[in-house]
Amino acid sequence: MNNKFQNVTIKGTKDGLTLHLDDRCAYEDLKKEIDYKLSESSKSRDNHLIRVKVQVGNRYLSQDQEEELKDLIRQKKNLAVDSVVSNVITRDEAEKLKEEEQIVPVTRIVRSGQVLQVPGDLLLVGDVNPGGTVIAGGNIFVMGSLKGIAHAGFNGNREAIVAASVMKPSQIRISDCITRAPDQYSDEEKREMECAYIDENNQIHVDRLQVLMHLRPNITRMEGGY
Domain with CATH 2.160.20.70 in the chain: 94-222
Q: What is the pLDDT of residue 121?
A: 93
Domain with CATH 3.30.750 in the chain: 3-85
* E strand map for 71-139: 79-85, 103-107, 115-118, 121-125, 133-136
Record: fold of 94-222: Pectate Lyase C-like (2.160.20)
Q: What is the pLDDT of residue 114?
A: 97
Q: What is the pLDDT of residue 100?
A: 63
**Strand, helix or coil at 9?**
strand
Among candidate residues 200, 219, 201, the one with its CA nearest the CA of residue 209 = 219
E strand or H helix at 28: helix 27-41
Q: What is the pLDDT of residue 223?
A: 42
Q: What is the pLDDT of residue 173?
A: 97
Q: pLDDT by residue for the chain (226 residues), tens digit each?
A: 445 568 999 998 888 999 999 988 999 999 999 999 998 887 776 778 899 999 998 888 888 999 999 999 999 888 999 999 888 766 666 666 666 668 889 999 999 999 999 999 999 999 999 999 999 999 999 999 999 999 999 989 999 999 999 999 999 999 999 997 655 555 555 567 899 999 989 999 999 888 888 887 776 554 434 3
Assign domain 3-85 to a CATH class.
alpha beta
Query: What gap in Å lies between CA 184 and CA 181, rounded to an integer?
Result: 9
Widest Cα–Cα separation across the chain = 81
